[in-house]
């Protein structure tokens, strides 16, 4: 039997009547524990945090942690960022040697620190360099290479169609489009008509991204835009089960019951332990606090709990507070 590469397998999901659902790369968020959680709750692909190519080449240990496997059962897709074709090619090769099964190139990050080095969304303003980076990476590694862009630098320079065509001829196997310009940062709403327009002009698969928050809306955006995959970022913060909710709705037409509070509690505790195991007690505790904030949104007493846990001196104390909070919350719900 012929083995299919991970990207072919990903898009084959369309044969089941729904698009593949992908967890967006998010710096400081999509580490191994969170990617494992999203996979467990139905994400068909998860992408690592952005890894700076120069830091990777210099052997900075943080990069290895950032691209560590979240769940050995799933495809390891690693996103790299940078502005030098050779350095990007080298970083991609190193990642593949370490186990990456897909490489994604960041051409959408709007943050000044990244854009200031000519990387991320800055590449939308230098189509020639963007093309050379894509070609260099595609030729450097035997695994599928994809690129993630925004619609353009600003309202006056929306070159998404040109960038997508460059991606196509540079050997990108798929392109993700976040439906905003760099100038918009995260303001306004993602422009899905513009995503649909780009989709209609190229032949490689297009993954649409921006502001997906519910199963009904995900289906509508998918049907209207005709994209090949959907990528979800912020809506998965504190709600990684959104992938299962969307997948279920798209295949059955029915909404899943909300995840019971007790199960949510178990997920939160498991994730806390996974963060400590992956990052160590100190960093793990600090990073887990951010997730606890998201997870407890909408819980009765959640705001007071977040305030308390931010003052927990160490991970054991935080875990005790978490257990006590969940016990009280669950007991009050059961009463």
Contact residues toward ligand FMN (CB under 6 A) are 24-29, 49-50, 79, 106, 108-109, 148, 178, 209-212, 232-235
In the set 10, 45, 92, 109, the catalytic residue is: 109
Phi/psi at 165 (5° precision) = -70, -40
Task: Look at the alpha carbons of 294, 64, 209, 109 in this order and tell me if their dihedral is positive or negative.
Answer: positive
Active site residue 109: yes
The residue (of 34 and 272) whose beta carbon lies closer to ligand FMN is 34
Determine how β-strand 77-81 pairs with β-strand 102-107.
Answer: parallel
Shortest separation between residue 330's beta carbon and ligand FMN, angstroms: 30
- Any idea which residue has 């032949």 for tokens? 203
Using DSSP's 3-state secondary structure scheme, residue 53 falls into helix
C-alpha–C-alpha distance, residues 112 and 95, integer Å? 25
The residue (of 210 and 229) whose beta carbon lies closer to ligand FMN is 210
Using alpha carbons, list the distances in angstroms from residue 329 to 194, 208, 300, 323, 332: 44, 37, 7, 10, 5
The residue (of 91 and 326) whose beta carbon lies closer to ligand FMN is 91
Residues in the chain: 335
Shortest separation between residue 182's beta carbon and ligand FMN, angstroms: 12
Shortest separation between residue 127's beta carbon and ligand FMN, angstroms: 18
Q: Which residues pair with 208 in a beta bridge?
A: 177, 230
The residue (of 109 and 319) whose beta carbon lies closer to ligand FMN is 109
The residue (of 3 and 187) whose beta carbon lies closer to ligand FMN is 187
Enter the tokens of residue 310. 């931010």
Is 206:20 a contact under the CB 8 Å cutoff? no
Q: Which residue is nearest to ligand FMN (CB)?
A: 233
Using DSSP's 3-state secondary structure scheme, residue 181 falls into strand
Q: Among residues 49, 33, 16, 15, which one has the least CA distance to residue 268?
A: 33
C-alpha–C-alpha distance, residues 160 and 194, integer Å? 8
The residue (of 19 and 108) whose beta carbon lies closer to ligand FMN is 108
Shortest separation between residue 329's beta carbon and ligand FMN, angstroms: 27
Shortest separation between residue 333's beta carbon and ligand FMN, angstroms: 30
The residue ranges of DSSP E strands in the chain, in sequence order, are 21-23, 45-52, 77-81, 102-107, 145-152, 174-181, 206-209, 229-232
Shortest separation between residue 3's beta carbon and ligand FMN, angstroms: 28
Shortest separation between residue 245's beta carbon and ligand FMN, angstroms: 14
Q: Which residues pair with 230 in a beta bridge?
A: 21, 208
The residue (of 49 and 84) whose beta carbon lies closer to ligand FMN is 49
Q: Among residues 128, 174, 126, which one has the least CA distance to residue 9?
A: 174
Using DSSP's 3-state secondary structure scheme, residue 168 falls into helix
Catalytic residues: 109
């Amino acid at each position: 039997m012929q083995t299919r590469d991970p990207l072919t397998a990903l898009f084959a999901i369309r044969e089941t009547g729904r698009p593949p659902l992908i967890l967006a790369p998010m710096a400081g968020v999509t580490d191994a524990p969170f990617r494992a959680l999203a996979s467990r709750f139905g994400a068909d692909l998860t992408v690592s945090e952005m890894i700076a190519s120069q830091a990777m080449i210099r052997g900075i240990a943080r990069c290895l942690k950032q691209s560590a496997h979240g769940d050995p059962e799933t495809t390891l897709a690693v996103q790299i960022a940078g502005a030098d074709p050779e350095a990007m090619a080298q970083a991609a090769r190193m990642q593949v040697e370490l186990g990456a099964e897909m490489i994604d190139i960041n051409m959408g990050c709007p943050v000044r620190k990244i854009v200031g080095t000519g990387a991320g969304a800055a590449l939308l303003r230098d189509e020639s360099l963007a093309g050379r980076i894509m070609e260099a990476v595609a030729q450097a590694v035997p695994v599928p290479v994809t690129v993630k862009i925004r619609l353009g630098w600003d309202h006056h320079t929306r070159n998404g169609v040109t960038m997508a065509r460059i991606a196509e001829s540079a050997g990108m196997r798929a392109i993700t489009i976040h439906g905003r310009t760099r100038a918009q940062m995260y303001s306004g709403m993602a422009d899905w008509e513009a995503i649909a327009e780009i989709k209609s002009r190229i032949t490689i698969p297009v993954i649409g991204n921006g502001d997906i928050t519910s199963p009904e809306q995900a289906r509508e955006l998918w049907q209207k835009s005709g994209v090949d995959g959907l990528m979800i970022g912020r809506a998965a913060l504190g709600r990684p089960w959104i992938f299962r909710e969307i997948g279920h709705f798209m295949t059955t037409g029915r909404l899943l019951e909300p995840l019971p509070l007790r199960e949510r509690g178990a997920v939160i505790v498991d994730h806390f332990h996974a963060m400590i195991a992956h990052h160590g007690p100190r960093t793990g505790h600090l990073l887990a606090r951010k997730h606890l904030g998201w997870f407890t949104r909408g819980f009765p007493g959640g705001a007071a709990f977040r305030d308390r846990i931010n003052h927990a001196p160490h991970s054991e104390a935080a875990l005790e507070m978490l257990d006590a909070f969940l016990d009280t919350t669950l007991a009050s719900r059961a009463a």
